[in-house]
Amino acid sequence: AQSVSQHNHHVILSEAASLELGCNYSYGGTVNLFWYVQYPGQHLQLLLKYFSGDPLVKGIKGFEAEFIKSKFSFNLRKPSVQWSDTAEYFCAVRAGNTGKLIFGQGTTLQVKP
């Protein structure tokens, strides 16, 4: 069965620190990969997505992620976090032509001012 694993459940950083959130998935075929962010009390918003092409994808708010097929990974990065990045981050995979997304457990990021 497909699954998604996020390595860190809770991350605390100071402003201007660099961020990397790990995401690994298990599925041998074609996948679409997503990172969503959920700010407190709000709905999930798409940060970035990978469908094909350049494995380094850039998203909104300075986030980027790199798809490494050999490692089944899609790690999220940001060079310098801000207090406003405090939120929960979810990695998700869509396998094959199914419409449904398989989500990781989420990572809560707390940025201290």
Q: Using the rule CB under 8 A, is 59 a contact of another protein?
A: no
Q: Using the rule CB under 8 A, is 29 a contact of another protein?
A: no
C-alpha angle 31-73-28 in degrees, rounded to nearest 5:
40
Q: According to CB under 8 A, which one of 58, 71, 100, 112 is a site residue for another protein?
A: 100
Least distance to another protein from the beta carbon of 14, Å?
25
Buried b (16+ CB within 10 A) or exposed e, 14-35: eeeeebebebbbebeeebebbb
Q: According to CB under 8 A, which one of 49, 62, 64, 86 is a site residue for another protein?
A: 49
Q: According to CB under 8 A, which one of 43, 69, 70, 113 is a site residue for another protein?
A: 43
Cβ within 8 Å of residue 1, ≥6 positions away: none
